[in-house]
Amino acid sequence: MSISLVSTDSPKRRRLASKVWREIKRPFVAKPRLPKLYSCLPNLRGRAPTLADFSPMHATVEAEAVPLIHQLVRESRNYPGPIIEIGTLLGITTTTMALAKTPEQKIITVDLYCWNPWGFTPEIHEALTSQILNYVVQTGHVERVRMDKDEFYRTYQGPAPSMVFLDAMHDYENTKLDIEWARRVGAHIIAGHDYSDEFPGVKRIVDECGGPRHLRCSVWAL
């Protein structure tokens, strides 16, 4: 049996078809293999994670990499434009960056809230993130955008970012598209998370782009 959902004569349509098919077949997969991103959680012994497995430390960069985040943000002060974070999750890395930026800099953090490793619904996920970021949003330091990253890329009309931090989908194709967009809009610093053996696609495209200029744990900067 063959199902044709959309024409696949372009990379964008092929990605859309892949996303739609993944959601259609999800309920029929009896024992899905846990995504590699679950490796940030305790040993789950093959089961899906639950709220009992929740820890904020599983939702941000490694503690040893925080000094590099601060260093990159301080470097970004030399350039105009916002800091753009792709992949908010709970906003903990967002807050880490906010601690090192100037009062005039704005962080724009983008997430569709369609995935998290603890099984939160999108509504609960976004509500939790909204509470974590409430102060920095209300004081104008952070703008929280709920949007698919590809749509954000298509519609962004702001100035060249002083820094882009990539921490959304961790495969080769998506990370390549993320880096290409950052370069296209003239981002002065391009950095991200998960340069590690757990995510070979990230390592591959970062290496193809010249390799990390800075690397601390799995936080990288071109």
pLDDT, position 10: 66
- List, for residues 167-207, the tens digit of each pLDDT value: 999 999 999 999 999 999 999 999 999 999 999 999 999 99
pLDDT at 38 over 50: no
Query: Per mean pLDDT, which of 25-29, 49-53, 70-74, 119-123 is the most reliable?
Result: 70-74
Give the position of tokens 């990539």.
166
Tell me the residue range of the domain where 186 lies: 58-221
Please report, for the domain that includes residue 201, its CATH number. Answer: 3.40.50.150
pTM reported for the whole predicted model: 0.78
Q: What value does the mean pLDDT take over residues 118-122?
A: 87
Q: Which residue has the higher pLDDT, 199 or 33?
A: 199
Same domain flag for 106 and 206: yes
Same domain flag for 101 and 151: yes
pLDDT, position 54: 66
Same domain flag for 124 and 79: yes
Same domain flag for 104 and 192: yes
pLDDT, position 12: 64
Does residue 98 contact residue 135 with C-beta atoms inside 8 Å?
no
Tell me how many degrees the CA angle 89-105-215 measures, rounded to the nearest 5.
55
In this structure, of 2-11, 145-154, 170-179, 200-209, the range with the lowest mean pLDDT score is 2-11
Q: What value does the mean pLDDT take over residues 54-65?
A: 80
Number of domains in the chain: 2
Same domain flag for 101 and 201: yes
Same domain flag for 20 and 69: no
For the sheet with 83-86, list strands across it.
142-146, 107-111, 83-86, 163-166, 190-192, 219-221, 214-216
Q: What is the dihedral of CA 66, 68, 70, 72, to 10 degrees?
A: -150
2 domain residue, yes or no: no
pLDDT, position 90: 95
- CB contact set of 79 (below 8 Å; sequence gap of 6+): 160, 162, 163, 188, 189
